[in-house]
Structure 1
């Protein structure tokens, strides 16, 4: 009889090498999408806060899907905020069931707006419209970035791809005392559910908050999208 051929050691070695190489590639992909090894969710948010605090300016879009019936408040804000601090853009407010689009400039601790049926900027008190001083949104201690710094119980969520970018969600809670610096009518002693979306450059792409933004009403959700970082724009009083 002809002896059966012995298994080739070379084939086994090649198979093991190929398997090891595949494992290395998969591990590298996972690391790229998930961030540096050993980085906790709190570390990720802290780094994202630094990115937001150190950028020259951002283009932002703040909005809510809707307000409870009979509530007057902020529906939308779009514009550029800088670390002067200053803001220039447009806000949409609901007052007595009527929506008004208002161009706004906030700089030097003053807020100017072109109110409906007027042509020129006038100084206003934004709290009269249940809106914040838009320039204060860029504060490093009481602004949008403080949502990241004061979030608790943070947990990493899902990852999704947006073109070539990898976005990771993080959920947690934010004190109402922080949220009220953004929407003044927010209940200060409440806890607001928050979700943060961070891109693979470690920057905050979107923050969503849900909770009692207005007294004696259902919970409301506000989202803030950071459309562009490193915006350079000189903002002056009108």
Structure 2
């Protein structure tokens, strides 16, 4: 009986040791689930720079811009959906708020010329986007004046949580936050009036920027608002021509 009890205690000690080792191993491996990639990953600034390079090198993608709403009395862009290529060119729809009413306007932009089928018309007309407090959508993925240019200009970058996402939840998407200077944002959205903008980026493990959210004053003499931009289907190729 005594030999059995001693053996049992020894077995229990071995099991306890094995359990403790397993718990420590699981704890060490689970850091990425709580947010961030830990100390082994690249600095956040390098991740944003790599995401800019991926945008610079793509032939095109699908882009979608949304906002919960424009400040009262503002004429501006409430949304955009379409294909943008590195021609540069854009084809899609722009939602514009005029006198409190939102209009969905078909737009085509090719190498600096923008055409729109304005409300109440049935043909495309040559327009100046600035008349509607809007940027040229063909420049959305320009490395110098588009959304990619905001990534390396972002300051105080911090890595946040990592989550599963994408098709079948097969991707790891990591959040990064920081601040975009107002003069840099103005290059992308000419009506931007704030001194700085809070930025939140969601970047996949293949260095693709999937979503960017910006908070700040986008129109003079107005309240802060939010724009969210999603980027999908990298590598899209589409021949876009004058309508």
TM-score by length of 2: 0.86
Task: Indicate how the Cα distance of structure 1 residues 167 and 39 shifts in structure 2: closer, same or farther if over 3 A, else same.
Answer: same
Task: Indicate how the Cα distance of structure 1 residues 134 and 2 shifts in structure 2: closer, same or farther if over 3 A, else same.
Answer: closer
Q: Which consecutive unaligned segments of at least 5 residues does structure 2 have?
A: none
Find the aligned partners of 2:81 and 2:217 in 1 and give their Cα distance.
Answer: 23
CA deviation digits over 1:116-144, x for unaligned, max 9? 12111111000000100011112111111
CA deviation digits over 1:143-179, x for unaligned, max 9? 1101111100001112222223222111100011221
Work out whether residues 132 and 181 of structure 1, in 8 Å CA contact, stay in contact via their aligned partners in 2. no
RMSD: 2.5
Give the number of the structure whose residues are more often helix, by fraction: 2
Q: Does 1:99 align with 2:105?
A: no
Aligned partner of 1:225 in structure 2 is 230
Q: 1:196 aligns with which of 197, 201, 205?
A: 201
Work out whether residues 36 and 161 of structure 2, in 8 Å CA contact, stay in contact via their aligned partners in 1. no
**Count of aligned positions:** 236
Q: Does 1:161 align with 2:164?
A: yes
Q: Does 1:212 align with 2:241?
A: no
Task: Indicate how the Cα distance of structure 1 residues 16 and 209 shifts in structure 2: closer, same or farther if over 3 A, else same.
Answer: same
Q: 1:180 aligns with which of 186, 202, 219?
A: 186
Q: 1:74 aligns with which of 64, 74, 77?
A: 77
CA deviation digits over 1:32-63, x for unaligned, max 9? 98558241111111111111111111101011
Aligned partner of 1:234 in structure 2 is 239
Find the aligned partners of 2:107 and 2:202 in 1 and give their Cα distance.
Answer: 27
Determine helix, strand or coil for the equivalent of 1:180.
helix
Aligned partner of 2:120 in structure 1 is 117
Work out whether residues 212 and 220 of structure 1, in 8 Å CA contact, stay in contact via their aligned partners in 2. yes
Task: Indicate how the Cα distance of structure 1 residues 58 and 46 shifts in structure 2: closer, same or farther if over 3 A, else same.
Answer: same
Find the aligned partners of 2:142 and 2:17 in 1 and give their Cα distance.
Answer: 55
Q: Does 1:148 align with 2:151?
A: yes
Deviation at 1:15, TM superposition (A): 7.0
Deviation at 1:89, TM superposition (A): 0.5
Deviation at 1:101, TM superposition (A): 0.9
Find the aligned partners of 1:35 and 1:152 in 2 and give their Cα distance.
Answer: 19
